[in-house]
A = this chain, B = another copy of it.
């Protein structure tokens, strides 16, 4: 079995209104040094196979078809084996 961590980020050129909104709140609360806030996703799951090749194929497909929006987002993932 594998444990997978996926990070999904908007592409750098794509605006991030959620990040902007949170940062505006921060400025109003007096956080004067914070800037460039961008909000993405951190996703964890398990893949129930011991074949790393099958796992990689399934992880990539899961990311591309369900987790990330291929038009606006990029993803990267790391895998660790668990018992």
Which A residues contact B (CB, under 8 angstroms)?
7-9, 19, 22-23, 25-26, 29, 31, 33-49, 54-55, 58, 61-62, 65-67
For A43, give its contact among B37, B43, B55, B67 (CB under 8 Å): B37
7 closest Cβ pairs, A-B complex: A42-B42, A37-B45, A40-B42, A33-B48, A36-B46, A38-B44, A7-B42
A42 contacts across to B, CB distance below 8 A:
7-9, 39-42
A43 contacts across to B, CB distance below 8 A:
19, 37-40
Given the known interface contacts A39-B41, A40-B43, A42-B42, the answer about A34 and B62 at a Cβ–Cβ threshold of 8 Å is yes
Q: Are B62 and A47 in contact (CB under 8 A)?
A: no
